[in-house]
Amino acid sequence: LLFLDKMYSAKVLEHLENPRNVGAMSDATARGEATNPVCGDLLRLYIKVTDGKIAEASFKVQGCPPSVAAGSALTEMITGLTVDEARKLAPQDVTRALESLPRNKEHCSVLAIDALRAALADQS
């Protein structure tokens, strides 16, 4: 992570060192996948919804460091939210949770939200 600390916020680095909720979820009630055709990154989100609330979330990613941080932040952010609340989240919310992203990495938050929207569509 030595050279990364010049590029990324403290929060991004913290998620990279200790990513939350990594891995597939065997008892997920919905899954969503998103890819960015330009960079080729892929993020898969798993959620478990009980009584209209996201009780658990996890993710897998093949991508750049900020996409790992975005997936990690997203799973933290949506855990405990109702499905309706989660639907209102936007890429800027993920970027804000990461303090900031370099301009050319802002689409990593879009990737996370696209995966969320796909999972919520799978749920309903």
Please identify every residue annotated as catalytic: 39, 108
Chain centroid to CA 3: 23
Question: Is residue 64 a contact residue for ligand FES (CB under 6 A)?
Answer: yes
d(CA 120, CA 85): 11
Does 16 bind ligand FES (CB under 6 A)? Our answer is no
Rounded-to-integer distance, Cα 27 and Cα 90, Å: 26
Give the residue from 80, 76, 58 showing the smallest Cα distance to 15.
76
Q: Which residues contact 37 (CB under 8 A, 6 or more apart)?
A: none
**Can residue 112 be called a binding residue for ligand FES (CB under 6 A)?**
no
Closer CB to ligand FES, 15 or 107, in the complex? 107
Residues in contact with ligand FES, shown as a per-residue x/- string from 74 to 103 under the rule CB under 6 A: ------------------------------
**Whole-angstrom distance, CA of residue 107 vs CA of residue 75:** 17
Q: Which stretch binds ligand FES (CB under 6 A): 10-18, 23-31, 61-69, 76-84?
A: 61-69
**Cβ-contact 111, 63 below 8 angstroms:** yes
Please state the φ and ψ torsions of residue 28, each to the nearest 5 degrees: -60, 145
107 near ligand FES (CB under 6 A): yes
Q: Which is nearer to ligand FES, 68 or 77 (CB)?
A: 68
4 versus 55: smaller Cβ distance to ligand FES: 4
- Footprint of ligand FES (CB under 6 A): 36, 39, 41, 63-64, 66-67, 105, 107-108, 111
